[in-house]
Amino acid sequence: MFLPTQSYLTVVRQPKALHNAKEQVARSAGRSRYLTETCCFDPNRIRRARHKTLVHQHESWGNVRADLVKRTGVQRQETRISHSKHTFLMNLKGEARLGEDFIDGRRISFAARRPGSIVYIPAHSEWTGWDEGDATASYLLVSIKREFADRTLGEIASYSVAELPPSIGFRDSSLEMALQKIAIELKYPDPLSAMMVESQATQLFVRLMRLNGINQEPAKGGLSSFDLKRAVHMIESSGDQRPSLADLAREIGVSRFHFCRAFKQSTGMTPHAFMAQRRLERSADMLRSSELSATEIALECGFGSSSHFTIAFKRAFGASPTEYRRSCRI
């Protein structure tokens, strides 16, 4: 079995200029030659920005590598990610409000990236651009070898992982859960971490294939895209006061029975399950970005009690709210 390597932590404070950031990292860590040889990921190269402090923790398990980066005093950030591996990036803290994005030189529309938003870049594709937002920001970057993805997915699907398109700034609770579990293994590695991380990497690709409709029959009889957007907007804008089925059906102009059936055909889940997922996503956002206690977040998100919140959250994310918050902070 491949045993995980030592987890490396690099801290940089008040760099004088971007061009000497590597020297600052090596000097702070006190092992410049060793870091140069072992750390192939450089936050100052792929996401260049002036900053006051930088903390970088990373771990490799052979087929999968994870990097956790936190900066303070961040100004305009310039991105250039092009890798021979498939890459996932999840925003953990801080919001990017303005910017531009390009995929393989083609400009795509920019949308604000809040904590929890995910980026997927296939091997040999390139994501470039810039963004500006909160001064304190952190992200998790997971890179996965093409050979591992092809070998693993080739056993369960007649589809090449390389054909999955890049996607910038989307939300999905299943992907977020898998990435958070990898982050936990990064922070607390043990001899079983390689097996755990590879299983989560497999789930990342399986979920992406489902989101892209691979090997699935097209949904028939579901809500129109316009009606689905109206329903989702009503759910997401209601806060902790969840709309009833009758309210949602009335908004669309159909019976409750027809709405439930059509909603499930369009989303793959019942309205109740969809609302529960959105509520958990909101609670995860608040754990990352606020200082509210878990009990306060439970009440804010509409859970009946803190114990109910803890049970539901651990079932969804594989960690208690406290453990999840700890894993998001270096």
Q: Looking at residue 115, what DSSP letter applies? A: T
The confidence band for 145, taking pLDDT boundaries of 50, 70 and 90, is: very high
Report the mean per-residue pLDDT for the chain.
Answer: 81
pLDDT of residue 188: 86
Note the Cα 193 to chain centre separation in Å. Answer: 19
**Which amino acid is located at 240 in the chain?**
D
Q: Looking at residue 328, what DSSP letter applies? A: T
Token pair belonging to 246: 């009758």
Query: At residue 282, what are phi and psi to the nearest 5 degrees?
Result: -65, -40
Place of tokens 């890459």: 87
CB 89 within 8 A of CB 119: yes
Mean of the pLDDT values across residues 114-140? 93
Q: Looking at residue 318, what DSSP letter applies? A: S
Q: Looking at residue 113, what DSSP letter applies? A: B
d(CA 197, CA 288): 22
pLDDT of residue 217: 53
Token pair belonging to 63: 């087929």
d(CA 64, CA 50): 29
**Which amino acid is located at 206 in the chain?**
V
pLDDT digits (tens, 9 = 90+) for 168-212: 999 888 898 899 889 989 988 889 999 999 999 999 998 898 888
Q: Which of 56-70, 122-136, 259-273 has the lowest mean pLDDT?
A: 259-273
The confidence band for 233, taking pLDDT boundaries of 50, 70 and 90, is: confident
pLDDT of residue 102: 96
* Cα separation values, 201 from 65, 95, 194, 272, Å: 10, 25, 10, 28
Mean of the pLDDT values across residues 11-25? 40
Q: How far apart are the first and last CA of the chain?
A: 28
Choice between 142 and 232, residue whose per-residue pLDDT is larger: 142
The confidence band for 242, taking pLDDT boundaries of 50, 70 and 90, is: confident
pLDDT digits (tens, 9 = 90+) for 295-323: 999 988 888 888 999 999 988 887 889 88
Q: What is the CA radius of gyration of the chain?
A: 21
Helices (H) and strands (E) in the chain, counts: 13, 12
Question: If we measure between CA atoms, which residue out of 117, 142, 10, 113 comes closest to residue 71?
Answer: 10
User: What percent of the chain is predicted at pLDDT more than 90?
Assistant: 37
Strands 8-13 and 86-93: unpaired
d(CA 148, CA 154): 10
Top mean pLDDT of 126-130, 239-243, 276-280 is at: 126-130
Give the helix, strand, coil percentages of the chain, each rounded to 5. 45, 25, 35
User: What percent of the chain is predicted at pLDDT more than 70?
Assistant: 82
pLDDT of residue 140: 94
Mean of the pLDDT values across residues 54-66? 93
pLDDT of residue 8: 45
d(CA 47, CA 165): 21
Q: Which of 54-68, 104-118, 308-322 has the lowest mean pLDDT?
A: 308-322
Helix axes 245-252, 256-267, angle to 10 degrees: 90
The confidence band for 1, taking pLDDT boundaries of 50, 70 and 90, is: very low
pLDDT surpassing 60 at residue 130: yes
Q: Which of 55-59, 127-131, 159-163 has the lowest mean pLDDT?
A: 159-163
d(CA 264, CA 273): 10
**Which amino acid is located at 25 in the chain?**
V
The confidence band for 7, taking pLDDT boundaries of 50, 70 and 90, is: very low
